Structure 1
Amino acid sequence: MTSLPYPALHASHSGIWVAQRDEPVRALSRGEAIRLAADTPVILLNAPLVGQRLGYADLSGLDVLELFAFLHPARFMVPTPKGVAQATGLTPPGSEADVAPFLLEAAARMLAVTDADWPEREGAWTAAQSLARARWGWAPVVTPRLRKPEQSERWLFTRLPEWSEAAPRPAPRTVTLDDREVADRLTALTGAGAEARGGQRAYAAAAAGAFAPRVAREVPNLVLAEAGTGIGKTLGYLAPASLWAEQAGGAVWISTYTKALQRQLGHETTRLHPDRAIRKARVVTRKGRENYLCLLNLEDALQGGFAGRAAILAHLVARWAAYTDDGDMVGGDLPGWLTTLFRRNGSAALTDRRGECIYAGCPHYRKCFIERAARASAEADLVIANHALVMVNAARGRELATRPTRYVFDEGHHLFDAADAMFGTALTGQETIELRRWIIGPEGGSRGRRRGLQARLSDVAGYDEQGARAISDIVAAAGSLAADGWLARIAEGAPFGAIEHLLAAVRGLAYARAEQDAEAGYGLETELAAPSPELIEAAAPAAQALDALVRPMVALGKRLEAVLAEAPDWMDGPARARIEGAIASLGWRAETVAGWLALLARVGGPADARFVDWLAVDRVEGREFDMGLHRRWVDPTIPFADTVLKPAHGALVTSATLTGGGDWSVAEARVGAPHLPRAPERFVAPSPFDYATQAEVLIVTDVKRGDVPGLANAYARLIEASAGGALGLFTAIRRLRAVHARIADRLSRAGLPLHAQHVDPVDTGTLVDIFRDDPHSSLLGTDALRDGVDVPGDSLRLVVMEGVPWPKPTVLHAARRMADAMPGGGGGNAYDDRIVRARLAQAFGRLIRRRDDNGLFVLLSSAMPSRLLDAFPPGVPVARVPLDEAIVRVRQRLSSTRTIGHEAAHDIA
């Protein structure tokens, strides 16, 4: 195996080492390491992470992750030494000092695949030439090893298959599922030799009620099912869902809240369709279009739209695009760590985040990943989506003919939050500038292929005089929206245009009235009540400007519909599709502007009891990044019920914590059931786990609130007592970072790696993969880890929460707390208690994921009210103890795990 002429550098919290060919490993100081990396190409593993540990943000080098992404596109590898060892078939390094020479060996092993044909050879030579021109660090090593193909390679745009049109799918047939058939399907999914679980069988039978024929219009069959952890609810609802899809010839949309569950569902469907080709046709994962690679944006990037490191990212993404299953850049088969290696170079520019798609006007329309997913879902039996996409499609989707009639909402306890975000209104600087860019296109020194509305509809403008006039009016009216540099102008007291003057007035009133400390660096907000004269004065011209914008938008939409009806000679299929897309885009943007106008009418006018309105200045570490007016429904399940539930024939809403430690009236209110004509069916299946023997809850009584050194000491001692395997949950990012900074080095020296969300330059999904892969590592995080982590076994045996997860006292929270119409009723402290119970139940649910799990849940707060202890499963022992006793209990309870792994505690993963 050829050795490489470059040194390898490894940095951790416990030291820095360099390895060179034929030389012993050397320990370096931080300054020496920085000088080496600045002067010499070095082999690294995750350059941004190494750079962070060195305090050298501009660190770059020969990252083995980039090499792996080039050689094996659309394959995942855990980005740790252990993960690299598993991917290359090498023995993992035994200590931190062994990592640097191991990286030399691993890089050579990766490059060795080029000595023969490997599955992803096609396109590699062409991609390597482009990467060499982009000055990719690995190019001088990789390019000479690749032989030039005798014939031109099929690469990317020529390799991607085209989707084809299909006849509209007939409406689903009316069928009634047989109980025995549902039970038989469940048996087939679980396997004939699987342990019979009565709770799972009862759950599947109850879930089948959502697939019964509807008896009246806008009266769906709604089933609410709380299934404790371990019931097996995924297969429990897949049994009736798949059976109904086959017999009725319709699609069931299974909606989740987290990407982790989407991935898990995709894996579970292999039981339903073991054959990959059949599964790909029958089960489709759908996400918002901003998740998918835009081929037109990629083409622009490859042709010079990107420069420097961003250009290298574009070529690596192009290499992946030729092998990906679905083009999903967020949670699909693109490794989550790849884009974080280029974190300052905006991978978002490769997706359609601004809604600028030109549909059939795109030269890659027939190969578009987004369009392919949409058409595949129209023919699929099961569509795995997320709550936000389901609501967006119901409210303003283009796919009216294929709107689903049956839904399964897993993680149903999050429906309220998803609806809250979806049906809210925000008239902010960022929102208005995005609309301006969509209408006007690039201004000033902007680069790229992006075009304004007039350019995208140039053929219509040339054909239809009224349409052309409407387009001109829209472009002219968009000039009043916030423009580039708006934040600086407002800070300097020199706003330009009606909207910027409005935002300046919002900022002034927020600073004047906000209860938060203006110097603390957090965002500011205040109620939209008794507005200042400046705000009232600014609202009127802003409303006039928006009215001047929305009127021609509506008029253009009508003219485009007329153009479709008239079908001029130049209108072929692609042109029709492009105009249909423009109608849909115009429609939802016009709705957005109409929502802004309704919000502005509130300034100086009467309040609407259905809504909560407030002003906000958004800041990060004291830096302002947005400001504006906000509106949310007091009860967002009202529009959710109207747009999603009522048109459906049936829906199953399920979760392990659906009632959130409360009662069924709370659960029903949180999913919109009270807004339906008929009450839902209820079902409960308690967890089969023996929580009384598998788990224990400790409430530590002597860690003072706000004492960061004491908090850090508690986390460090608890993680040391458990020998890792700890999930630390925080309610504030600032405290998470402070604790991590104090304990990371200490734990690393003990052979206990510590990873942290909001600290490590690694995406959350990859952090969880790293945590799962190493039973001696620990992970710190916030809400996303409290709700979306599934790590069974020894890798997660201790959960530590910094304190009681009380809701943040925002304007919105205060209004819902006081409102008579608040979901579930009760208001006041009872409302806060329900939120805390739900959060505690979710956090505890991370701990015990299977029958042989064993662990402790530690809450570092003496202020935990006894009335909230019912958030934990019945029978779980709860004790209030000082920290020293908690350490002893953790060590004793997890002694078997600690003993098994203690000798390997210094292994690197």
Structure 2
Amino acid sequence: MSESLLQFPDPFEALSRLPALVVGPTYGLILTPDGEVIEYDLPELRKQIREQAFLICNLPVTTRRLGKVQFRALDLLELFAFVRPAEFCLPLALGVARALDLPHSGDSLEEDALVLLQGAQKLFQEVKSSDYAYGQGIGETARQMAEAGWAWGPLILGALDKDIPRGNYAVWDHLPEWEERAPPPPPGIDPVSEKESLARLHDLLGPDAEERRSQQEYAALTATAFDVPENADEPKLVLAEAGTGIGKTLGYIAPASLWAEKNDGTVWLATYTKNLQRQLDQELNRLYPDAKVKNEKVVIRKGRENYLCLLNLQELSHGAAQPQGRILLGLVSRWARYSRDGDMIGGDFPAWLGENFGSGRLAQLTDRRGECVYSACAHYRRCFIERAQRKAKYADLVIANHALVMVQSATRKGDPDLPSRYVFDEGHHLFDAADSAFSAHLTGQEGLELRRWIRGAEESGRRGKGLKGRLEDLISDDDDARQALEQVISAARCLPADGWHNRLIDGAPFGPAEAFLSLTRQQTFARSDGRDQYHSLETPADHFVDGLLDTGAELFAALNNLVHPLKRLSATLLKKLDDEAADLDSSTRARLDSVSRTLTRRADIIAQGWLPMLESLKGEKQEGFVDWFELNRAQGRELDAGMHRHYVDPSQPFVETVLKPAHGVVITSATLRDRVSDSQNPDIEWHAAEVRTGAAHLISTPRRQSLKSPFNYAEQSRIFIVNDMNRRSLDQLAAAYRELMLASGGGALGIFTAISRLRGVHQRLSEPMEQNHIPLYAQHVDPINVSTLIDIFREVENSCLLGTDAVRDGVDVPGNSLRLCIFDKVPWPRPTILHKARRAKFGKQTYDDLITRLRLKQAYGRLIRRASDRGVFIMLDGATPTRLLSAFPEDVVIERIGLADAIRKTRDFLAENTPLPPQDP
């Protein structure tokens, strides 16, 4: 071994002296390398570990349980992320065991500790192996991280059998480049017949799959959306409600993939959640079992803010001073080299790194401010975003989300590259997605973001090029463009600057925007209940405090002076494209076009959003909108302040921008209709679906059909409404959750309507759950993102998970892992100003009931995911109105009983109905 390697310890010798530490909610244990297990309660454990080194798994969870105690931790998750970059692993010992194929039954902390010792050994054996698959740059990156203080760094270097050169490993130089291709021709118009769709479905399922009539009906139904369109502004629209268990994903993939192949076109499959995007991607393995073929045929698309920006990575790597930041950059660099698509949010990026190193550090690695310089970037031809955008033009299927589809359609209206065929899964969320996509917010944070985008970093130590830095080389020879740019930069001084919020609190706003925001904040406090120091506050944008109208007028004039040069600069860039068409190279043309479109989009936010909002303050209210002032707070901390505008009916702009330009659309979900208990009229039941999806705004009635779930809900489930407890008492609520979860032996999902109630219950449940060996996880408590929490809940069969609406919708946990669902109270809509306006438009109490029934329907739908499942749904709210119970299947047994009976019947039902062997999906 060379002299340079002697300074690094042998990893196996070091591991032979390193004990493992595992910490539960109330006690922990230490496993020594020679096999001795020592258990301690938490106070004593804190004393024993002080100033010592331990092998652990998941630093944020461990330190949250231990509190403030100094010890040296070597996190096995970080080692795994370094040695096996871009590979999935649940952030707990069981996850490491499964990823490394180590034995683990999931029953004890002692098993967890043993996995830590064995897992570290196995990972170092992989590093030393001659056929190690992730060797590029490993030594240089480990050295950089070791110099930053990463505990694993010296051991990695000690495991390598070669000299490691000094110097930085620049991952951006080792990524493949994309190449331009000729623009694709417009797709054909050949339809997909029912017979063809069924044949493709049969191929997807395989010859040995069980024949399911409902899935075949669904595939035939969705095929009609891929027929030839007959009228302008009228797509072939199908509303398809498919009960759980039908197999709707493969049902719509069949005709969608077939239409794409027949017509050399692209179908966009849009979802609401990143969870379902991932599930869709996994389902497409059936269609494209060859990974290389799938890589060409399928693209996952998300907003720019989801992807790693290589330029940001480079700039941060050169300027990182904090050790934690340098260690994170090393792990990100390892991941980036082997990532499928550079997706940091829901892709193959280890999401738990955000909890380990801070989500703020990760946010700096993505393009959240629209600062991309396009072809001027040194990494342009290796950019993950540019690669995904280009691949999407030639793919058969693009897996997107509702928000991206809407924003893309609104900002690229008339673009021939926009898709003409869509499938919107989770269609019951289209109303909410449109509500977010087409709203406008004149707030401090929105204004500050625009100012930074235009003027760049105005404080030392902040990053940000500003518009001048991104445009200067493009317009150096264009006097008109340079003059417009200077006017934009100057006019942007009207916007909130860094420190705006503190100046508002101190009563010293600077500039017209801050003056306006200061008075909206004053009015919000004056018109709200001063006793509420925790939640966000809002008040109608009416009956203004002194001076607010005058500051609004001043801001209107200042923003008007900003929007005109923005538009002129955009037009100048487009003119340059035209005038210099013969001389511009392709990358410069693409850059000019992209920057021009971004300028137009920013100008439209002001001209079509902010200016009309300010104009309306004079008394000329715009019909179809609702305006209000809001002070946004989280856990009592002020985050933002300003004015908000939403469509009363956001399905209107969705129809105009997305549905009407399309040729064929499938909108599908398990919960499209609202089944009203006292009505057998199908038109009434479909009315909610047509209103909330926008179909009501089209002339032609869509093709609509509801296919019932094949499950026997009367046999497989029970619903109990507990009617003898004080739901306002956290002690009683926690006691109910505790006893019900013990009765089910775990496998319980607790859904809360308020974060404070969730936290209060969790605090009371931690100790009894641990004493009964039932792992308990909680959103808003555990330092783990919600997608990962759901993955853990799915894999750890007898665990329990507490969460809010994020775990109510779109969560797929089949099997025995979810056998009990507990709702703390009726999930009525929150009584906001916006909800009040919609309630008045859509039917008052009828609208409240509609929203609530759909939420209950979604929650109950989490429970039974396949024919072998058994489960109990419990509502801990005795005031649940009977009229809401039509949310549940007609034949399921619903009982109003006391808590003691609910506990007994839950235990008996789940004990008597042991799960049947799982069936193929």
Shorter-chain TM-score tier: over 0.9
Aligned counterpart in structure 1 of residue 656 of structure 2, from 613, 636, 642: 642
Partner residue, 1:906: none
Inter-partner Cα distance in structure 1 for 2:754 and 2:71:
29
Indicate conservation of the 8 Å contact 1:692/1:875, yes or no.
yes
Instruction: Tell whether the 8 Å contact from 2:52 to 2:71 is kept in structure 1 after alignment.
Output: no
- The aligned residue for residue 180 of structure 2 is 165
Q: 1:570 to 1:37 in 2, by over 3 A?
A: farther
Deviation at 1:101, TM superposition (A): 4.5
Please name the residue that 1:256 is paired with.
271
The structure 2 residue matched to 1:496, chosen from 504, 510, 513, is 510
Match runs of 1:484-523 below 5 Å: 484-514=498-528, 516-523=529-536
* Alignment equivalent of 1:631, drawn from 634, 640, 645: 645
AA of the residue aligned to 1:879: E
Amino acid at match of 1:50: T
Hey, what's the Cα distance between the residues in 1 that align with 2:412 and 2:600?
10
Q: Is 1:709 aligned with 2:731?
A: yes
Matches within 5 A, 1:15-164: 15-22=27-34, 24-31=36-43, 33-34=45-46, 39-56=51-68, 61-92=73-104, 94-117=107-130, 118-148=132-162, 156-164=171-179
| Percent identity of paired positions between Structure 1 and Structure 2 | 46
1:358 Cα offset (Å): 0.6
Tell me if structure 2 keeps the 8 A contact 1:787–1:843. yes
For 2:321 and 2:360, the matched residues in 1 are separated by 9
Q: Assess, with a 3 A threshold, how the Cα gap between structure 1 residues 803 and 98 changes in structure 2: closer, same or farther.
A: same
Deviation at 1:109, TM superposition (A): 2.3
**Residue of structure 2 in register with 1:682 after alignment:** 704
> Over aligned residues, Cα RMSD in angstroms?
2.0
For residue 761 of structure 1, the aligned residue among 783, 789, 795 is: 783
Distance 1:463 1:357 in 2: 22
* Paired residue total: 892
Give, in angstroms, the shift of residue 798 of structure 1: 0.3
Contact (CA 8 Å) 1:718, 1:890: kept in 2 or not? yes
CA distance in 2, matches of 1:709, 1:758: 20
1:880 corresponds, among 896, 906, 919, to 896
Q: 1:487 & 1:154 partners in 2: Cα distance?
A: 40
Distance 2:894 2:480 in 1: 72
Tell me: CA distance 1:838–1:777, structure 2 relative to 1, closer, same or farther (3 Å).
same
Q: Which runs of 5+ in 1 are unaligned?
A: 901-909
CA apart distance, 1:37: 5.3
Q: 1:598 aligns with which of 612, 625, 629?
A: 612
* Partner deviation per Cα, 1:822-856 (whole Å, 9 max, x = no partner): 3xxxx111000000000000000000000010000
Question: Does structure 2 retain, via aligned residues, the 8 Å contact 1:525–1:617?
Answer: yes
Stretch of structure 1 that moved more, 302-311 or 582-591: 302-311
Q: The residue matched to 1:459 in structure 2 has which SS? A: coil
In structure 1, what is the Cα distance between the partners aligned to 2:285 and 2:635?
Answer: 45
2:594 pairs with 1:581: yes
Match of 2:808, SS? helix
Contact 1:25/1:100 (<8 A) preserved: no
Once the two structures are TM-superposed, the CA of residue 149 in structure 1 deviates from its matched residue by: 7.0
Give the aligned partner of residue 681 of structure 2.
none
Alignment correspondent of 1:856: 872
Report the Cα distance in structure 1 between the residues aligned to 2:266 and 2:101, rounded to whole angstroms: 42
Q: Which amino acid is 2:159 matched to?
A: R
Using the alignment, how far apart are the partners of 1:306 and 1:289 within structure 2? 27
Distance change in 2, residues 1:680/1:569 (3 Å):
closer
Higher RCO (CA-CA < 8 Å; seq separation 6+): 1
- SS of 1:837's equivalent? helix
Amino acid at match of 1:17: L
Partner of 1:747: 769
Paired with 2:445 and 2:673, the residues of 1 have a C-alpha distance of 37
Residue 368 in structure 1 maps to residue 390 in structure 2: no
For 1:839, the equivalent position in structure 2 comes to 855
Match of residue 298 from structure 2: 283
CA distance in 1, matches of 2:912, 2:793: 20
- Alignment-mate amino acid for residue 789 of structure 1: V
- CA distance in 2 between counterparts of 1:31 and 1:746 reads 18
Find the aligned partners of 1:296 and 1:38 in 2 and give their Cα distance.
41
The letter of the residue matching 2:888 is F
Q: Residue type of the partner of 1:867?
A: R
1:774 counterpart = 2:796:
yes
Mapping of residues 288-299 of structure 1, within 5 Å = 288-299=303-314
Q: Which residue is equivalent to 1:381?
A: 396
One-letter amino acid of the counterpart of residue 722, structure 2: V
Cα displacement (A) at 1:873 = 0.8
Q: Specify every segment of 5 or more residues in structure 2 that has no aligned partner in the other structure, as ranges.
A: 1-11, 677-684, 917-921
Residue 833 and residue 205 in structure 1: after superposition, are their counterparts in 2 closer, same or farther (change >3 A)?
Answer: same
Secondary structure of 1:479's match? helix
Q: Is the 8 A contact 2:355 2:783 kept in 1?
A: yes
Structure 1 residue 4: deviation in Å?
3.5
SS of 1:766's equivalent in the other structure is helix
**Contact 2:204/2:287 (<8 A) preserved:** yes
Which of 686, 694, 711 is matched with 1:672 structurally? 694
Alignment TM-score, normalising by the size of structure 1: 0.95
Moved more, 795-804 or 669-678: 669-678
Q: CA deviation at 1:674?
A: 2.0
Matched residue SS, 2:473: helix
| Cα gap change, 1:36 to 1:478, in 2 (>3 Å) | farther
Residues 647/59 of structure 1: CA separation in 2 closer, same or farther (3 Å cut): farther
Alignment of 1:405-424 (within 5 A): 405-424=420-439
Between 1:439-448 and 1:831-840, the stretch displaced more is: 439-448
Instruction: Tell me by how many angstroms 1:729 deviates.
Output: 0.2
1:794-815 deviations in Å (ceiling 9; x for gaps): 0000000000000000000011
Offset, 1:8:
2.3
Separation in 1, partners of 2:289, 2:107: 38
Compute the displacement of 1:345 (Å).
4.8
Does the aligned pair in 2 maintain the 1:439–1:452 contact within 8 Å?
yes
Q: Judging changes above 3 Å, is the alpha-carbon distance between structure 1 residues 857 and 94 closer, same or farther for their aligned structure 2 residues?
A: closer
Of residues 695, 701, 717 in structure 2, which corresponds to 1:695? 717
1:243 and 2:255 matched: no
1:40: how far off? 2.6
2:580 equivalent in structure 1: 567
Mapped partners of 1:40, 1:712: distance in 2: 37
Deviation at 1:150, TM superposition (A): 9.3
**What is the identity, as a one-letter code, of the residue corresponding to 2:282?**
H
Give the corresponding residue for 2:191.
Answer: 176
8 Å CA contact 1:47–1:60 kept in 2: the answer is no
CA contact (8 A) 2:427 2:672 kept: yes
**Aligned 1:212-361 pairs, distance under 5 A:** 212-305=227-320, 307-343=322-358, 345-361=360-376
Partner SS, residue 282 of structure 2: helix
- How many angstroms does 1:508 deviate by? 0.6
C-alpha change, 1:306 and 1:659, in structure 2 (3 Å) is farther
Q: 1:150 to 1:743 in 2, by over 3 A?
A: closer
Q: Give the TM-score normalised by structure 2.
A: 0.94
Judged with a 3 Å threshold, the aligned counterparts in structure 2 of structure 1 residues 810 and 94 are, in CA distance, closer, same or farther, namely: closer
CA 1:56–1:789 in 2, change beyond 3 Å: closer, same or farther?
farther
CA distances 1:40-84 after superposition (whole Å, capped 9, x unpaired): 332211010111111239876211000000000000112222222
Q: Which moved more, 1:695-704 or 1:525-534?
A: 525-534
Distance 1:680 1:57, change over 3 A: farther
Q: Judge which range, 124-133 or 335-344, deviates more.
A: 335-344
1:612 to 611, 623, 626: 626
How many angstroms does 1:344 deviate by?
Answer: 5.6
